[in-house]
A and B are shown apart, each in its own frame.
Chain A
């Protein structure tokens, strides 16, 4: 196996950006402090949090006071769904392709899912019918899907919801999208937004929920009330500082990185489709997907076997639907899109990120077709 792995799983987590690391190091060393204190050490920590909050606000397009730092995207999603439902019980809807961090809380409060089309994009007519049928108090639709990268028409979702349920709260999970698309222009009419640090090149274990003023929301965990009384717990100062530093990089070079990675992704996609007979690219047309995500279904091949061979060859990829043990499970996203189970068994997600290179694509173009061919040869 080659020494340097070819990392094509940026949708799972992307490497820490050097700028984030540099910003964090003082807070893992000589700098420290509980931001809630009343002395100079505390004030310094508080200033670091305040400055980070400004950056998040700029990325999402909100006021700094609307930002609630959390332990990550999952906590933000749970706070959004469960906290909104507790504040104002009623029917809850989410798209059928949401991440488990939304799907499971929605199911826990008896919510229903909105179907998607064959590209995995939320069906606005079906949404309208569901909203009219039982006007919801909460609707949650992600900005971009974590498996296929499909962008969702979140602003149109909000419009449809408001037409029939003007009081409804709209939540958008922007965890996958933050590194790639300007959020403010996609989030018109959205009340709650989840984002995550480690998907943008910040450290793991940090995220935020943006709460527009006036949105009914109850905290999930009670305590010191550090974050606007909506989230308690001493701040992870180093993590929040690293998160903000990564976001600053995103603000600075997002469009350039997106264009560069999109070209790499397209070359990878074209090359694999040409080299693997029968392989199908999943999701909407490429321009309606995140620039870094490529999802394929390879007929006649099992994901776990393919991932094993790729791993042996030093290529880190994913089937995008692993459970906690690392085993692959049937994807609810592909099922919702109507992808036949036989095809879904050969799911492969290759996701690129800020650190991806042309060499990564070259290696994958050699490795993936060879592995697929080998497995098909045995199966035949």
Chain B
């Protein structure tokens, strides 16, 4: 096969390329240039492009840099900013996978003659007896990245290779070291690639939208604290709310950006029996009944039941036991065992119907 490997300059995609090459595929490395280079943490910095190119040279494969900066801005960065402006908690990595890696890049790869696109994600593509495919958790559960890839449908899965998902991160590093790849000891990328560690989320957002101070009130509406940027408060947050010490811990339970108000409450108010999802995608058709629902990148999967989609396409997921509320904007991924069956984005809507 002719395979395009999306090389970020990290150890995982380096080894992905090496494995595909060893398996006899025709391999070309491509580094996506998504961001102007302001970031000092994530991909797209000059040193990361250098690392990807040097690994490709070492492997003896061609390496190209493709600029998808405009699309990244329009499909990932602007929605991220807009979500914060509305008081949501977005996951830009998922949108990047949805719109950039597995759509924009994959379409261009197909256009120029590649049979598949490979990445260094720790996840697997498994084929089922009926010929359909599903995304499954990586062998290394601690490094599993299936959560950020739940947006892949049948069409994408059929043309996606995830060569490192079959082994542990330690094995990946050992293999990189054995091959003498310069990325063998490189630390894992952290957080959002366009947020610098120096300026942080706040420094990034305040150059794009006005951040407004907000009141912090309790259940009775009494003002009990203050925040200097209501757009940055996430449901479930405990620190930085200006609350007096002592007493029962209180958490942000509601963020009302238009009124610049954060309501706090005790831990029990954070618990919920269900979450309503929008923009739901399915691996191979809607699933109802028992699943496990994972509500953050490294969250614990919770047993839950999926209700049939409503007329608006929204799907209610009821947890078997009360679970911590999911901040609106976060993705909830639904698993059957190790396999992803679908997922969607949490809304702030209260679950309807017959709840517990």
Give A residues with C-beta under 8 Å from B: 302, 304-305, 308-309, 311-312, 323-330, 374-375, 378-379
Assembled-state Cα–Cα distance A326/B64 (Å) = 7
Among A304, A309, A324, A374, the residue within 8 A (CB) of B46 is A324
**Count class of interface residues, chain B:** 10 to 19
Which residues, 21 to 74 on B, are CB-close (under 8 Å) to A? 31, 33, 46, 49, 62, 64-67, 69-70
Identify A375's interface contact among B67, B69, B112, CB under 8 A: B112
Q: Which of B62, B66, B112 contacts A327 (CB 8 A)?
A: B66
Provide the bound-state CA to CA distance between A305 and B70, in Å.
16
Whether the Cβ atoms of B46 and A327 lie closer than 8 Å is no
CA distance A329 to B34 in the complex (A): 11
Q: Tell me whether B321 is interfacial, beta carbon within 8 Å.
A: no
Nearest neighbor of A377 in chain B, beta-carbon distance: B111
List 3 A-B pairs, minimum CB-CB distance, nearest first: A327-B67, A327-B33, A378-B111
Q: In the complex, A79 Cα to B321 Cα: how many Å?
A: 71
Find chain B residues with CB under 8 A from A325 CB.
31, 33, 46, 49, 65
Are A308 and B112 in touch, CB under 8 angstroms? Answer: yes
Whether A305 contacts B111 by the Cβ 8 Å rule is yes
Q: Closest residue to B44 on the A side, CB-wise?
A: A325
* B108 CB within 8 Å of chain A: yes
Cα of A312 to Cα of B26 in the assembled complex, Å: 12
Chain A residues within an 8 Å CB radius of B66 = 304, 327-328
Question: Which residues of B does A touch, CB under 8 Å?
Answer: 31, 33, 46, 49, 62, 64-67, 69-70, 108, 110-113
Nearest-Cβ distance from residue A302 to partner chain B, whole angstroms: 7
| Shortest distance from the beta carbon of A2 to any chain B beta carbon, whole Å | 15
Question: Quick check: A302 and B46 within 8 Å, CB to CB?
Answer: no
- A and B contact pairs by CB, cutoff 8 A, 8 listed: A304-B64, A308-B64, A309-B113, A323-B33, A325-B33, A325-B46, A327-B66, A375-B111
Taken together as a complex, chains A and B put the C-alpha atoms of A305 and B66 apart, in Å, by: 9
Tell me, in angstroms, the Cα distance from A326 to B110 when the chains sit together.
Answer: 21
Complex Cα spacing A311 to B49, Å: 20
- Which chain A residue shows the least CB distance to B63? A326
CA distance A377 to B112 in the complex (A): 11
Interchain CB contact under 8 A, B49 and A329: no
Given the known interface contacts A324-B46, A375-B111, A375-B112, the answer about A329 and B69 at a Cβ–Cβ threshold of 8 Å is yes
Most chain-A Cβ atoms within 10 A of its Cβ — which of B108, B112, B113?
B112
Most buried by B among A309, A326, A327, A379: A327
Q: Could you list 14 further interchain pairs (A-B, Cβ under 8 angstroms) beyond the known A308-B112, A327-B67, A329-B67?
A: A305-B108, A309-B112, A312-B113, A323-B33, A325-B33, A326-B65, A327-B33, A327-B65, A327-B66, A328-B67, A330-B70, A374-B111, A378-B111, A379-B111
**Across the interface, which residues of A come within 8 angstroms of B108, CB to CB?**
302, 304-305
- Rounded to whole angstroms, the CA-CA distance of A305 and B107 in the bound complex is 11
Q: In chain B, what residue has the closest Cβ to A324?
A: B46
Query: In the complex the two chains form, is B67's CB within 8 Å of A378's CB?
Result: no
Query: In whole angstroms, how far apart are the Cα atoms of A327 and B69 in the complex?
Result: 10
Q: Nearest Cβ in chain B — how far from A79, in angstroms?
A: 26
Contact for A304 among B49, B67, B70, CB less than 8 A:
B67
For the complex, give the distance between the alpha carbons of A309 and B112 in Å.
6
| B65 surroundings in chain A (CB, below 8 A) | 325-327
With CB as the reference atom, state the residue of chain A lying closest to B50: A325
What's the nearest-Cβ distance from chain B to residue A330, in Å? 8
Nearest CB in chain A to that of B64: its residue: A308
Chain B residues with Cβ under 8 A from A330's Cβ?
70
User: Closest CB of chain B to A331's CB: distance in Å?
Assistant: 12
Closest-by-CB residue of B relative to A328 is B67
Q: Which of B33, B49, B70 has the most CB of A within 10 A?
A: B33
Residues of B contacting A304 in the complex (Cβ-Cβ under 8 angstroms):
64, 66-67, 108
User: In the complex, A308 Cα to B112 Cα: how many Å?
Assistant: 8
Q: Compute how far the CA of A375 lies from the CA of B111 in the bound complex, rounded to whole angstroms.
A: 6
